[in-house]
Amino acid sequence: MIWSLPFSLFFNFYYLPFRQAIRLPIILYHPTFWALAGKVIIDAPKICFGMIRLGLFNASVNNEKGFVWSNEGGTAIFHGRFAAGPGSVLKISQPGAILEFGDNVNNTSGLKIDCNYHIAVGDKVRLGWGVIMMDSSLHRLKNSDGSWAGKGYDAIEIGENTWISTQCIVLQGTRFPSYSVAAFGSLLNKDYSKGEKGIYAGRPAVFKRGGGMA
């Protein structure tokens, strides 16, 4: 943390208004910066030291370290406490894209997010080791007549009090219901929000068991 303090100071005063930056709410551990454009907004009732920790080492089977930040002109919004463990990447790839986290969102290690449009993660969400989120297919496909096949991107919405387990992949158009669990290694790729609360599993994921999670 001491080694990373100069980077944390720079990041806070670069992105945040002085009244927030002076509190050092964002702590970076072994950071790497790919792009430093766009904005960072902390929209929380209380701003305190270290409420957002990026690259924080937690007990993990992952031997990666550090954290990668890349903002090419979008906006990252934090509504409270957030932690992403070592080996994580937060990448906002397009101007105008919005990456948004609710309060008390945690990841142990290896979180990879590529936001090209809009990704919103609700309050009290747990993201397991090696979770990947991408709201764009990155390479659009064409039909045989030369017309585009779909728009190539769509929002991701993760409801509150959910658990996205280890090595899950979350793709464009995913809307995941609150109080639900995505089982180990699941692929989320559609709107599940009109379904039941409970456990989803598979590649692609389907509803397995209801009842909602506490």
14 assigned to some structural domain:
no
**CA 199 from centre of chain:** 21
9 assigned to some structural domain:
no
- Whether pLDDT at 212 is above 60: no
Nearest partner of 49 among 69, 76, 19, 22, judged by Cα = 22
18 assigned to some structural domain:
no
17 assigned to some structural domain:
no
Task: List, for residues 45-59, the tens digit of each pLDDT value.
Answer: 999 999 999 998 776
202 assigned to some structural domain:
yes
pLDDT mean over 36-51: 97
Pairing mode, strands 205-210 and 198-202: antiparallel
* Residue 4: per-residue pLDDT: 80
Instruction: State how far the Cα of 76 lies from the Cα of 42, in Å rounded to an integer.
Output: 8
Instruction: State how far the Cα of 191 lies from the Cα of 186, in Å rounded to an integer.
Output: 14
Task: List, for residues 147-187, the tens digit of each pLDDT value.
Answer: 776 778 899 999 999 999 999 999 999 999 999 999 999 99
pLDDT mean over 105-117: 95
* Number of domain units in the chain: 1
- Higher pLDDT pick, 23 / 147: 23
pLDDT mean over 83-95: 95
7 assigned to some structural domain:
no
4 assigned to some structural domain:
no
What is the domain extent for residue 180?
Answer: 29-139+148-210
Position 57, amino acid: F
Q: What is the 3-state secondary structure (H, E, C) of the chain?
A: CCCCHHHHHHHHHHHCCHHHHCCCCEEECCEEEEEECCEEEECCCCCCCCCEEECCCCCCCCCCCCEEEEECCCEEEECCCEEECCCEEEEECCCCCEEEECCCEEECCCCEEEECCEEEECCCCEECCCCEEECECCCCEECCCCCEECCCECCEEECCCCEECCCCEEECCCEECCCCEECCCCEECCECCCCCCEEEEECCEEEEEECCCC
- Whether pLDDT at 19 is above 60: yes
* Residue 124: per-residue pLDDT: 98
Q: What is the mean pLDDT of the chain?
A: 92
- Return the CATH number at 170: 2.160.10
* Residue 201: per-residue pLDDT: 97
* Residue 143: per-residue pLDDT: 79
134 assigned to some structural domain:
yes
Instruction: State how far the Cα of 138 lies from the Cα of 91, in Å rounded to an integer.
Output: 13
- Whether pLDDT at 34 is above 70: yes
- Higher pLDDT pick, 125 / 58: 125
pLDDT category of residue 61 using cuts at 50, 70 and 90: low
pLDDT category of residue 2 using cuts at 50, 70 and 90: confident
